[in-house]
Every structure is written in structure tokens, then in C-alpha cells.
Amino acid sequence: MNLRHGIHFGYCTNIHRGETWAEVFDSLRTHTDAVRRRVAPDRPYGIGLRLGATAAEELSASTEQRDVLRRWLDETNSYVFTINGFPYGSFHGTRVKEQVFQPDWTTEERLIYTNRLFDLLDQIAPPGQEISVSTLPASFKEFIRPETAKEQRAAIRTNLKACSEHIEDLRERSGREVHLGLEPEPLGLVENTAEVIAFFQDLFDQAGPEESERLRRNLGVNYDTCHLAVEYESPETAVGAIRDAGIRVSKIHISSALRLQPTSEALQRLREFQEGVYFHQVIVAQDRQILCRFKDLHDALAWSAEPSVELGDEWRVHFHTPLHTKPEACFDDTRDHISALLALYAHDPGWCHHFEFETYTWEVLPPAMRSQNVVDQLVAEYGWCLGEFARYGLA
């Protein structure tokens, strides 16, 4: 939906299962349209689409299916403005973990897939509509091997530059504003503000003046409020540093992380959040100074049981929690990061136009935190988000 200052806002459909185009389209007609009818029955409704590689290839190959999709969008007064291109393969009901970072930007597969998403967006989004794709933070730190790091980083730069050229061609043909956002995530190759700035500065420095200008225009950051909160960053500092470095903020993901004081009761209850599908990175801090990082929740819990370890005074867990309600007793969340970001934006609006919320963990939430109906949860999350936008004069 359209909000003030040219904001387009929606939820990311990665909450729903669907790897084939038929499955994705069924979820749009079943769940997304049910949400639309309750939150925006009389206004244009923006959709943040998730298309994995299989669905993207099928939709790209079928003019008929694209025509069907466009007709459905027209009939429901809906439009697609962004695609989540981070998860390439299966994203629900199977082990995702580190596989969500594969293939990474060292590979041609990632480039082909991302370019295909841009081409599809150009064909299904309203004429002239600004479009964006979000993607992984280049790679996963463990994938970059010391003996081949130089070559891997060079491949990443080469593929991102090729994507930028594809975006530039699309911009010139369509007259649209088009951009790609790399999404910092804990233990990703790019995971915090300092690494964002170093990564992009290296990319810009190894390009000529004209190419550097195109890169700054076409590539940027997908700022996920859960991820940066898990890193104990503040939006004022993070956004200010990113923008001061001349790096575009392509899209903002509104999401909240799990937060706790590591008491014995809280750590015991935290075991209920262990599950086998997604990574739940943990960062431990004392007085907001990071002490240690863990790849997954079970690693952190095993460490906490060792004798004489320094547990710190706060843990932040990469586990997206519902936006409309606080977690159960013993836990807190990082919704204050979202509110601070919106307050910052309201003071100086216009530097990002694409906002979406994503609580893709719905299926794996502990039962006490999960609505029995995904549509009800999404409607409730819309209510909280729109309330925050209104609070800061953005709705």
C-alpha cells in the first residue's frame, strides 16, 4: 500500500510455503488476498513477493502465466513492487540453515537468478513503478576459505557488477528506478555496518568513475531491523554511517528479534525455540559490548551449560518474532529498533521507498506465540506496523 513520502509497504510472502509457481500463485490467491481484503479493501495493495529459483524460472518461461498474474493483480487492485531474492531454493519444511546462502554471489547461478527476478518484476509491476530485489549478504563467512578468499571475493565483485549492468540496461529501457539490496545478516559475509561500508567501498574503489556511479545507483543495502538489532546497532548510527558513505538503502525489512537476559529460567525456556529448519544466530553481550557469537541456538545453549562461562547480561537471537505482541515471559524483543528507525525516517524522509515486514518463522514458532491462522497473524502485524507509521506521521 502507499503511505506518505512515496513509501510502498507490504508483507513478504516468504511466510507461505511454495517453491513452484503454481504453489506460489495459490498462496497469493488464498492467503495474500484474504489479508488484502481485511487491511486494504479500498486502496491499492502492495505485495512483497518471494520467488525461489523454480518458481521464477517457470513464470519467466510462460507468457500465459504472467498474463494470468497481471489480470489477477488488476482484479484485486494489487501490485508487486519488490521481490525477496535471498532464498534461492526450498524455504519451508526442510533444513534450510546455511543452505539459504547457496548459491552465493561467487556463482553464475546467483547472478542468473537475480537478473531473472528483475526481468519478471519489470513485466508485472505497474509501468514506471520503482522496483527492488533483496539478496543475501554476498556469501556466508564460512564459505570464504582462506586459501581461495581473494578469488572468491573477486568473483563476488564481478557478478555484482554484471548485475548492476543488467539493472542499468533495464532502467534505461523502462524508465524505472531499479535497485538491488544486499541484506546484512549475522555471520553473513557482510553482517554489520562496518562490514557494509568496507564491502561497498572496496566494490566502488575497484571500478572506474562512471562504473562506480552506476554501482552506487543500482546496488545498496536491504536494512533488516531484526538483523541489525541482533548486532546491537542503533538505527541512528547505522543508517547515518551507511548514507554518509554514499551507499543506497534499497529496502527496509521490518522484523523483530528475540532478546533475553540469560537467567537459568530464560535459558531453559529458550530451548523451546530450537528447531531444525532455520539458522538462529546468537550474539552475547555485556553492557552492549559483544562477547561472542554463535552460528545457531543449540551451539549457544550447549556453551551456556559449560562451567565458568561468562554469559553476559543480554542475548539477542536471530529468531523473527511476531510484531504485534511481546514474546512470552522471560523474553523481550527488539521492536524498539523498528520504532527508532521510523522516527529517524520521519525526521528526514525519502531516502528509501520500499518497506516490508517478514515473520517467516510462523510455522516454527513455539505454539504459545503462533496464531492458529496465518492470515489473522498477518492482519495483526499490519495493525501494529501501520500504528507505528501513523505514530511518526508516515501513514
pTM for the predicted model, two decimal places: 0.97
pLDDT of 372 reads 76
Dihedral, CA atoms, 126, 250, 35, 118, nearest 10 degrees? 50
The DSSP bridge partners found for residue 357 are 11, 254
Average pLDDT (273-301) is 97
pLDDT of 328 reads 82
pLDDT of 369 reads 85
- The per-residue pLDDT of the chain, averaged, comes to 97
pLDDT of 275 reads 95
d(CA 228, CA 335): 12
DSSP letter at 31 equals I
290-346 pLDDT per residue, tens: 999 999 999 999 999 999 999 999 999 999 999 999 998 899 999 999 999 999 999
Q: Does 370 score more than 90 pLDDT?
A: no
pLDDT of 301 reads 98
* Count of CB atoms situated within 10 Å of the CB of 22: 12
pLDDT of 59 reads 98
Q: Does 371 score more than 80 pLDDT?
A: no
Q: Out of 57-66, 305-314, 339-348, 369-378, which region has the weakest mean confidence (pLDDT)?
A: 369-378
84-123 pLDDT per residue, tens: 999 999 988 898 899 999 999 999 999 999 999 999 999 9
pLDDT of 383 reads 98
pLDDT grade, residue 265 (50/70/90)?
very high
Superfamily covering domain 4-258+334-391? Divalent-metal-dependent TIM barrel enzymes (3.20.20.150)
pLDDT of 205 reads 95
Domain boundaries defined on the chain: 4-258+334-391
CB 134 within 8 A of CB 181: yes
CB 321 within 8 A of CB 297: no
Instruction: Please list the alpha-helical segments (H only) found in the chain.
Output: 21-27, 33-39, 53-61, 63-75, 108-124, 149-174, 193-205, 209-218, 225-230, 235-244, 264-270, 297-304, 335-347, 374-391
Q: Phi-psi category of 322—alpha, beta or left, where left has phi over 0 and alpha has psi -120 to 50? A: beta
CB 190 within 8 A of CB 247: no
C-alpha cell at 340: 527508532
pLDDT of 96 reads 84
378-389 pLDDT per residue, tens: 999 999 999 999
CB 381 within 8 A of CB 355: no
Is the bond preceding residue 103 a cis peptide, omega within 30 degrees? Answer: yes
Q: Out of 31-35, 156-160, 371-375, which region has the weakest mean confidence (pLDDT)?
A: 371-375
Instruction: Give the pairing type, strands 354-357 and 289-294.
Output: unpaired
pLDDT of 7 reads 98
